[in-house]
Structure 1
């Protein structure tokens, strides 16, 4: 059986898929993750999952390739990766007592055949001190 090709180098995603017991390879997708102006968080997650899968699949024809992305949404706006401790603290302060939506998209591609899904998880943050 040809291993599934994960379009990600995320250790976390690899470990999640390893639980299925399927053979798995990984490849780093070369995708610009910058949101388009006015792009909704769900649309961003779906677009990035497909872009990652398509970019890697183009380099590995005949392989089932899985792309994934998750975008957090607070008050209608996407939350990016904070990058610094100060930015992480600011994000946590903004999420305190709020509901945050997490849009998790996946895209499975092989030779032009595409299967996609997007899941929504809503998390209510307690008031943080």
Structure 2
């Protein structure tokens, strides 16, 4: 052991922040039994003209992590985003019951790829990494009544 050389910080010496307001992501990270804080990122999630769903998910995950890391530079920040991809078109969250009905009718029998990006950023160290996973989902051909029951549940 050399007294002149400082020891490397332990992996738990930096605060961990989830850059998200998603209850689902909060619950997932809680399963690891690590202490963390959730901080809302201030990021415009509007897709850019011609932006494909994979690029959109990666850009938003990184933007969320970077934005929160800028406010908490000593922390390790996790940002994530998921984009539904219907034949190359990003589908946004419907937001209202009426738009959800329209969207689910459009998705009947369709295959949608959910592009999920996860980014980890630490401003103090300059660390930045992002990865993406894709999951294909085939939607059943639901009747209008089934769609309505699903949304009401």
Superposition TM-score, scaled by structure 2 size: 0.82
CA RMSD of superposed structures (Å): 0.9
Q: State the alpha-carbon separation in 1 of the partners of residues 120 and 71 from structure 2.
A: 15
Q: Point out 4+ residue stretches in structure 1 off by more than 3 angstroms.
A: none
Q: State the alpha-carbon separation in 2 of the partners of residues 34 and 119 from structure 1.
A: 21
Verify: 1:119 aligned to 2:98, yes or no. no
Q: Deviations over 1:23-76 (max 9, x none)?
A: 110111000000000000010000000000000000001110000000001122
1:100 maps to 112
Higher share of residues assigned strand: 1
Greater C-alpha radius of gyration: 2
Q: State the alpha-carbon separation in 1 of the partners of residues 20 and 93 from structure 2.
A: 16
Q: State the alpha-carbon separation in 2 of the partners of residues 93 and 81 from structure 1.
A: 14
Q: Is the 8 A contact 1:3 1:22 kept in 2?
A: no
What pairs with 1:15-94 in structure 2 (closer than 5 Å)? 15-94=27-106
Structure 1 residue ranges without an equivalent (≥5): none
Q: State the alpha-carbon separation in 2 of the partners of residues 95 and 5 from structure 1.
A: 35
Superposition TM-score, scaled by structure 1 size: 0.97
Structure 2 residue ranges without an equivalent (≥5): 1-11, 144-153
Aligned residues between the structures:
129
